[in-house]
Amino acid sequence: MTTPEQPQLYLITPPAFELETFPQTLARVLDSQPIACVRLALSTRDEDVVLRAADALREITDARDIALVIADHTLLAERIGLDGVHLTDAARSIRHARKTLGDDAIVGSYCAGSRHDGMAAGEAGADYISFGPVRPSALDDGSHAELDLFQWWSEVIEVPCVAEGGLDEDLIRNLSPYTDFFGIGDEIWTSDDPAQALATLVAAIA
The mean per-residue pLDDT over the stretch 48-65 comes to 97
Q: pTM of the prediction?
A: 0.95
pLDDT of residue 3: 44
The mean per-residue pLDDT over the stretch 73-96 comes to 96
pLDDT category of residue 140 using cuts at 50, 70 and 90 = low
Considering the chain, what percentage of its residues have pLDDT values greater than 70?
95
Which of 1 and 144 is assigned the larger pLDDT? Answer: 144
Confidence check: pLDDT of 1 > 60: no
The mean per-residue pLDDT over the stretch 10-17 comes to 98
pLDDT category of residue 138 using cuts at 50, 70 and 90 = low
pLDDT of residue 27: 98
The mean per-residue pLDDT over the stretch 96-115 comes to 97
pLDDT of residue 198: 98
DSSP 132-200: ---S--SSTT-----HHHHHHHHHH--S-EEEESS--HHHHHHHTTT-SEEEESHHHHTSS-HHHHHHH
pLDDT category of residue 142 using cuts at 50, 70 and 90 = low
Confidence check: pLDDT of 141 > 90: no
Taking the C-alpha atoms of residue 73 and residue 50, their distance in angstroms, rounded to an integer, is 9
Confidence check: pLDDT of 41 > 90: yes
Residue 69: count of CB within 10 angstroms of its CB = 26
The mean per-residue pLDDT over the stretch 98-116 comes to 97
pLDDT tens-digit readout, 151-185: 999 999 999 999 999 999 999 999 999 999 999 99
The mean per-residue pLDDT over the stretch 88-99 comes to 96
In the chain, where are the structural domains located?
8-202
Instruction: Give CA angle at 146 (141, 150), nearest 5°.
Output: 135
CATH architecture of 8-202: Alpha-Beta Barrel (3.20)
